[in-house]
Amino acid sequence: MAVQEASRHALEQTAIEHLWPHSNDVEWDEFTERGLRVFASGQGSTLTDVQGRRYIDGLAGLFLVNVGHGRDEIAEAMAAQASRVAYTAASNSTNPATVELAETIAARTPGDLDRVFFVSGGSEAVETALKIAKQVQVLRGFPKRYKVICRRGSYHGTTFGAASLTGSQREAYFGPFMAGVARVPSPNRYRNDFGLEGEEGDLMCARWVEQEILVQGPEHVAAVIGEPISAANGTHLPSPAYWQLLREICDRHGVLLIMDEVITGYGRTGAMFAAEHYGVVPDLMTMAKGLSSGYAPIGAVAVRDEVFEPFKRHGNAINHLLTFGGHAVAAAAAAKNIEIIEREGLVERSAEIGTYLHELAQGLSHHPTVGDVRGGLGLLCAVDLVKSKRTREAWGVSHPFIKQLGLRTQERGMITRVWDVLHLAPPLVITRAECERMIEIIDACLTDLEREFAHEIEE
């Protein structure tokens, strides 16, 4: 039901006057001109704003509302836990909900990722993984191992350490970032840094990691970090051989391997964790978004037994603490979320519907502005937008074509994110009909914009 007209305008005005939006994609003038989206309710894959307009949530919030909106049983589980105990101090106590969630996670993570450190979200999970990796190297007798190797174009969060791995324009505001960060090429079969095709390009990226370890000196490198599939870097699907070679390289040089599964975890890729596609067990795994499907702020780092063992020998002395780590209500939300994922077969559904969505998206390839369509592993799909299919020149995120595409898909009833690629990552409960509607909306918007920007497009 739509909020009354006066209330709607009051909410939007209040947002403009007092709320500081979390966005670096939209200029302030755009917010004040068209107003902030104020969503009043959601159900399944649909969001409804205060004006009563309905949208397909093509991005599952931000790659996270895996079980869909409006799950009463998660709300009920949170309320029940809050009525018992909402908070216990993570430094010296815990609660049944958090203990049970740790056991649940340990039973589902690959291999012996059996020890779980809880945090409030994805950036904190990455920050924590960095601290664990650096401290365990010291405890193992390698105090000079402090450097971290990450991949260009990846996204790991916005807290200081995580942003140091992410880089981008933020360094102009907050730099210099954390010392000891080295960046290497990332798998990309559309614009490969080495001009190589297919798996060979992926393997060259892995070999480059080893070269960087040797350049920095193995005695100085603590860890290598990467997302199994990087949504921020265009949703390129690396070969299993890439991750398997990376695992061998890290083992060869005593470097820890961190897999950032903040986006890919809990069914997004058609497996509970994307690591399962690659047959690799990392030393540390970060998780957050799909852990609670956004119903409560929670994240975690799972580590292998051999990573935890040196801490255990030193009295569990991790030099790190987060006030809201292991929050009881958030743990209850996550536990119920995982129950729903498994009870409703949403991992398997993600694989099935993801294949269908990818097939539909490939139908957009006739557009002169669609250079590549990627995906096929679960509900994680990307449409690469170009000025020229021949040169593969991207528009750039600030170009009016890109900005208008984001606005017009919204006007037609779909929420997504448009950078140099258009991202599709809807809730795992999305229907085939909703997938078809999303592609219809994109098709129509591209057709309109290609007429308007025809002078800039190479046919």
Q: What is the dihedral of CA 272, 133, 250, 193, to 10 degrees?
A: 80
Name residue 41's beta-bridge partners: 48
How far apart CA 375 and CA 358 sit, in angstroms, is 6
Location of structure tokens 């709607």 = 8
What is the C-alpha to C-alpha distance for residues 394 and 407, in angstroms, rounded to an integer?
Answer: 19
Q: Rounded to an integer, what is the distance from CA 432 to the centroid of its chain? A: 23
Q: Is 145 helix (H, G, I), strand (E, B) or coil?
A: coil
Q: What is the pLDDT of residue 1?
A: 43
- Residues 103 and 217 occupy one common structural domain: yes
Q: Which domain holds residue 44?
A: 5-67+345-456
DSSP state of 71: -
3-state helix, strand, coil in the chain (%, to 5): 45, 20, 35
Same domain, 192 and 48: no
Say how many C-beta atoms besides its own lie within 10 A of residue 76's C-beta: 12
Q: Show which of 343, 363, 388 is a domain's final residue.
A: 343
Same domain, 130 and 237: yes
Is the domain of 413 the same as that of 318?
no
If asked whether residues 136 and 215 sit together in one domain, one would say yes
Note the pLDDT of residue 143. Answer: 95
Q: What is the DSSP letter of 69?
A: B
- The answer on 190 and 78 residing in a single domain is yes
> Both 108 and 179 in a single domain?
yes
CATH code of residue 414: 3.90.1150.10
Of 281, 311, 343, the residue at which a domain comes to its end is 343
Q: Where does a domain end: 310, 343, 376?
A: 343
Task: Select from 258, 298, 255 the least CA-distant residue to 98.
Answer: 298
DSSP secondary structure, 147-191, as one string: EEEEETT----SSHHHHHHH-TTHHHHH-S--TTEEEE----SSS
| 318, 400: one domain | no
Q: What's the pTM?
A: 0.95
Best CA proximity match to 49, nearest among 19, 17, 11: 11
User: 420 and 442, same structural domain?
Assistant: yes
pLDDT at 32: 57
Positions of the chain with pLDDT under 70: 1-6, 8, 23-35, 167-170
Phi/psi-derived region of residue 377, left when phi > 0, alpha when psi is between -120 and 50, beta in every other case:
beta
Helix (H, G, I), strand (E, B) or coil at 272: coil
- Does one domain contain both 270 and 311? yes
Q: Tell me, yes or no, whether 182 and 226 share the same domain.
A: yes
At residue 13, the pLDDT reads 78
The CATH number of the domain where 236 resides is what?
3.40.640.10
Beta strands 54-57; 414-415: pairing state: parallel
State how far the Cα of 346 lies from the Cα of 407, in Å rounded to an integer.
30
The closest of 400, 405, 401, 412 to 440, measured between CA atoms, is 412
Per-residue pLDDT tens digits for 37-47: 889 999 999 99
Whether residues 198 and 106 share a domain: the answer is yes
In the chain, how many domains are there? Answer: 2
